[in-house]
Every structure is written in C-alpha cells, then in structure tokens.
Chain A
Amino acid sequence: MTTVAGTPRDLSKARRFGLEGRRNLTGWAFLIPAALLIGVMSFYPMVQALILSLKSGKGTNLNWAEPLWYNYERLTRDTIFVQTVKNTFVYLIIQVPVMLILALILSYLLNKKDLRFKAFWRTAIFLPCAVSLVSYSMVFRTLFATDGFVNDALLALHLVDAPVNWLNQPNTARTVIIIGLLWRWTGYNMVFYLAGLQNLDYATFEAAKIDGAGPVKTFLYVTIPQLKPMILLTAIMSTNGTLQLFDESWALTAGGPANMSKTMSHYLYDVSFRLTPQFGYGAAISYVILVLVAILAFIQMKVGDRRD
C-alpha cells in the first residue's frame, strides 16, 4: 500500500481518500497499455490453445475429444512424455540453484570497488548468451566429442581411464546440457544482479564494514537480503525458462540418446511440426508446462515476495 505518511500537511479523511483514489486510478492507467497487449497477444491465443487441447485428431481434422480430457489422460500413458518430464526436472533441480549462486558470487565480485578490469570481466562473462546457438552448439559438440578437448583434458589429468562417450549416455548427455545452460545463462542472470546492486543503498555496506563484518558476512547478511526482489525475479524466470527449455535439447543432444535428454518443449515441437501434426495433443503438453511453472512460481512468490 502506498501511503502518504510523512506528508506535513494535515489532510482530512475525505481529501485523503480522494487523493489516494486518484493515484490508484493513475496507477491503473499506467498498466493499461501493457495489460492490453498481453491480453491480445498472449491470453487470446492461450484460450485458443486451451480449447485446442480438448480436441483430438491429426492435421486440420480436429474434433472434440471423447472424453474432453482425453489428451491429458493420454499424456499420462505416453512413455516419451513421461521421460521428458523427468529429464526437465533433473535440469531444473540441478541447474537453476547452481546457476543463480554462481551469478550472485560473480556479481558480488564485480561490484567490488577495488576490482580491476571490471569492464573486461563483465563483458567476458556476459558474452556467452549473445552468441548464436549455431556456433555454441557446434563448439560444445566438438568439445564433448569422444576424441574432443574435454576428454583429452580429463585423460591428461588422470581423472578418467578411458574417453567418456559424453553425448551418447543418458547421464553424461544431461550433464552436457546442464553445463551448456550454465555457460550460456550465468552471465545473463549476473546482469540483473549487477543492475540490482546499483540500486542498493551504499550506506549499508559502509555500516557493515564499520561493524567489522568480513566479505562473506557482508555478502550473506547485507547484499543478499537487499537483492531479494531481484533474486526472486531471476528464480521465477529461470524456472520458467528451464521448464520451457528447447534450444539445448534440440541443438546439443537432439534429445538423445533414446529420448533420455529430451525436454517437454522439444517433444511439444516434435508432435506439432516434425512428426504427424497433432496440435490438440501439443496444446495439452503446453498446458501441463503452464500448470507446472505456475505452481512453482506461486511457491516462489509466497516464499520470496513477503513485504516486510
């Protein structure tokens, strides 16, 4: 709630309500263009997709499903889909926390007053997400090839006895995808933390210093709490991005081996465009993703968005 507390003038209740009411209206006016655009560009197609998810059939030959939730029921029997759900959650649980912690540490280091070559570090770490997917996937596939650089390095360090067939075993293929995600998106999240850090009150850091807090304590008890709104934002975004993950699954491993690294969105694309087109079924997959993201976002909001 926006309050006018601190206003020196003594306002009557009626005037106060009038002023607040008007400000409230102004606030709504500020939201209208964005809300209208989202309504037309997102919600309208989403409603269409919801209707579509209740229809079954192939190509343009779509009819109301019998029963209406047939597509959803069919998903539970679809072994490939169930596998993609498992894969996606493996990515989510491992990659998102690791990435956000790394991004936090990096932004903290980069925000230090006495750090040299700031611009260089910042640019270098951000750049991966600016690189086209084509070159990124080529490089990663080359690096993780059986006779590739990663295996050469591991063999030289005696960490493995024989070359690892990275992209052709379920767990190592998933590892490559997670490494790829970390590589591409850590710098991206770091940018938000950096922007967030700029908006912080510098006095709190000075206070912490005076109180004799070391760098780790300052980071944990001063920086992180103040960055909470931004951490919440990146957590929701990363969860959302990972549950809708398509690029890495498509370009790095092609979902292989044997669908063991394929994501839900990749499967959605398959049933819509690559295989026999079943748009009703695809729409049902997209609503499963929506519900999963919504539940996780709701939990994150509840945990992280408390206004103190």
Chain B
Amino acid sequence: MNTTKKLIWLAAAAALGLSMTACSSGDSGSGTSGGDTSAAGAATTDAGTTTTTGGDALVVWTWDPAFNIYAMNEAAKVYQADHPDFQLDVQEVAWDDIQTKLTTLAQSKTLSELPDIVLVQNNAFQKNVINYPELFSSFADSGIDFSQYPQAVTDYSVIDGVNWGLPFDNGTAVAAYRTDVLAEAGYTIADFTDITWSQFITLAEDVLAKTGKPLLSGQAGSSDLIMMLLQSAGASLFDADGNPTIAGNETLKKAVALYQELVEKGILVEVNSWDEYIATFVTGQVAGTINGCWILASVQTATDQSGLWDITNLPKMDDVAGATNYSANGGSSWAITSNVSDYALAADFLKSTFAGSTAFYDTILPSSGAIANWLPASKSSVYAEPQAFFGGDAIYAKIVEYAASVPSNNTGAYYYEGRDAVSTAITEIINGADPDTALQTAQETVEFAMG
C-alpha cells in the first residue's frame, strides 16, 4: 500500500502546483504586465465574479482601437467635464468574440458576467434581441430622442416598437472612384452622380476599354452588393412579418441579374477573400469601390493615392419602383446590458454624448472619420471641411446627406440565414444555374432554417 500512499502525495502535490500557478498568474496578470489595465480595470477581482468596481465605473466591450474604442474614450472625457467622478473602462473585444461571449453567457444563464455597455453590429441586432431578450435593457426609459436619427438607422435595433440600440457607427453606402482614372477616360465624378445602373455599365465599360481598369471588385460569393442593391430600392429578403421573400422577388432577381452582368462584362472583379478585396483598390488594380462609408478608412491607407479619390452616391436600379441612389451596409449600435450596474448613469452618459453632444462628434470626426448618425451633429461646420485625400471634397457632409435618404432595411432574426442562402444562389447562378430555380432553393433553405 506504500504505492497508494505515494500516489496520494503525488496527487496532492499536483493539486498544490496547480493552485499555485493559478494564483501566480492572477498576481502577475496585474503585476508584470503593467499598463494593460486602466485605472478602473485594475480593480477587477481575481475571482472575476463581477467586473464592476463600485463608484461610477462602467465597463464597455467594443472593438477597433482607432474607431469605436477611441470614440468611447472621447465620450468619457466629454461626460467627465460635468461628472468628474465618472469612470469608463473600455475593453477591446473583437466583434466575433463579443458574439461568442454574448451567446455563451445567455445560453448558460451567466448574465452577471456581462459588461454594462456593448457594441452590437446592426445586422445581428434583431437576432440577438429576439433570441436572448434577457441580455439587454431597452432604451424605453432612457429619455433619448430617437427621432433625431434617420429611421433607416434606428430600425435595425427596434423590435416591436421598442428601441434596444443607440446607433453609432454609420453604414451609409458610398461609391468611391479614382478621379484620375475617370479623367483618363474623359469623365468626372459628376458623370457618375445620380445615374442608373444601366448608365453606370455603359460608363464603366468605356473606362475599362480606355484604361484597362475595372471600377468594382468584390468577394466571390459575397452577397454584400446584392443586399445594398435591395436596400437601395427599399426591398429586403423578408416581409414585414419576417417571412422570407426570396423566391419570386422581382427586385432580387434584377439585382442578381445586374450582378451577373457586372461580373461577365469584367466591370466587377471577383476575388477570393476580404484581404484580396482590400488589396484590389489599395494596390490600384481597380479604380473604385461601392460599400459602407467605413470602407473609406481602408481606401485612405493607400497614401500614394492621396488626392486621387472622390465619392458620390450609388447608381440606382432601373425600372424598380422605389429605387433610390442610396443604401447602407453594416454599421453598429450601442446596447445597455441587463447586467448594467447603474442603468440611469449608463443611459445618461449615452444621452449626453452620443445622442446629445455636437462637440463630441466634432472631436471624433477629424481624427477617426467616425461619422454621426445623430442628425443635429451633422449640421456642424466640421462636416463641411474639405478632405485632401478626396481631392478637397467635403465628403462627410455628402455622406450625412446621403444617410437621410437611405430606405429602411428589414433585417429580421434570420438575416444571416437569408444572406448565406442568397450567396449560395449567386454562386450557382454565376456558374450557370437557372436564377428562378436557384432562388427557389434559397427560399426553401431559409424556410427550413426557420422551421
């Protein structure tokens, strides 16, 4: 039995070793790594039972240091001017990781681990609130005036007439082109403004013939452009009751046919991944792009192309009732979680900054390009400043102007299912399948997922 005794000792030693490593990591987590924690963050308890630290500290999860995190920290500064005790701990979490955490916490009913405020992508808002209403606190009692936002933007996060999200990141679609390439073919940006897609195709073919440069690129099998086309005509993959309307949807059929034509005529170059898509215009292979206005941040990384770009509105779909030159892609909104330590404080903070401070938006626009959805801010003179990268054009004023005209988009809880099914259909159609059959299959796929 000597052996057994020794085994017990071994097990005990192993357990001890384990607990020691556990402790030491906790210590060094805040010790050696210095500077990784802001004043509020450092107070987080080792056991991690809760991340709130008493006082006025609010914890925020969001991504992108140059954009969302920066904006949140600036908002905190603005609020601190009137509330010196206010503390905000902005923690960086990628969107995919936020979604995984939200799902895990909701599914395991561990809501006490939620932060106070979290940024949610507009396209995923309905899905999260409808499936996990217990994750969030609504803005019903916040006193925020949502009529100061374009309806198309607030609609992403309105469920049964209740606002669950405060729009921040602007997803208004723009058409950005290389003016030097257009000039080489004898055109200006004005020739591409307020046009229809059939006019666009004529112009783009001419540009391609004269300069050898296509005007558009996109990820193969991505339905981004199709979705923007649909929204530009006020159409969607779902009806008001959330039922899929993919089969027999004339606008969708036209959008798919249009996409096919763009690819076949070589005006839109299909690439395999997001990185390659960015590379197409950053390295000058294509002379333009159509996407949410946030794409301009990537466009501007091509510093050698400064002054050569300009933006305008989208081409409009031909022969479609309700077609406009305006659309949107992406964007995101702030949500207050159900675990918020002080609802009144969180709501007041958001109300006084994101939904109430022109000065705040005036600060973040020039340094991060974060464009306000909050209409009063867009009247500020900062928006009319000329932008050197875009040939001195006041692009921010333009984008804000476009935003007001974007038709609403009904995402519904099954937005991603719908998008995936349409992507599959597009791939099949490009490879020669009959559009009606492919879209019928897509309809059945979505209905199956919903059933």
Contacts and interface: CB of A to CB of B under 8 A. Distances in A.
A and B touch in the complex (CB under 8 A): yes
Interface of A: 25-26, 29-30, 33, 58-61, 77-80, 138, 141-142, 144-146, 166-169, 254, 256-259, 272-277, 279
B195 interface: no
A60 B424 contact: no
Interface in B81-119: 99-100, 103, 106-107, 109
Contacts of B271: 145-146
Contacts of A273: 99-100, 103
A276 B4 contact: no
A141 B107 contact: no
Contacts of A141: 272-273, 275-276
30 contacts: A26-B3, A29-B3, A59-B106, A59-B131, A59-B132, A60-B131, A60-B132, A60-B134, A80-B445, A138-B275, A141-B275, A144-B272, A145-B272, A146-B271, A146-B272, A167-B220, A168-B270, A169-B431, A256-B427, A258-B428, A259-B424, A272-B103, A273-B99, A273-B100, A274-B416, A275-B414, A275-B449, A276-B127, A276-B414, A277-B103
Interface of B: 3-4, 7, 11, 14, 99-100, 103, 106-107, 109, 127, 130-132, 134, 220-221, 270-273, 275-276, 413-414, 416-417, 420, 423-424, 427-428, 431, 445, 448-449
Contacts of B273: 141, 167, 254
Given A78-B448, A276-B414, A60 B127 contact: no
Nearest to B270: A168
Contacts of B131: 58-61, 276-277
A77 B448 contact: yes
A78 B449 CA distance: 9
Given A60-B132, A145-B271, A257-B220, 10 more contacts: A59-B131, A141-B275, A145-B272, A167-B272, A168-B220, A254-B221, A258-B423, A273-B100, A274-B416, A275-B449
Contacts of B107: 59-60, 277, 279
Contact of A29 (B4, B270, B276, B427): B4
Contact of A256 (B106, B134, B220): B220
B52 to A, nearest CB: 24
Contacts of A166: 272
Nearest to B104: A273
Contacts of A138: 275
Nearest to A138: B275
Nearest to B127: A276
A226 to B, nearest CB: 31
Contact of A258 (B7, B221, B275): B221
Contact of B7 (A30, A77, A257, A275): A30
A276 B448 contact: no
Contacts of A169: 431
A60 B103 contact: no
B88 to A, nearest CB: 28
A275 B427 contact: no
A169 B428 CA distance: 10
Contacts of B127: 276
Contacts of A167: 220, 272-273
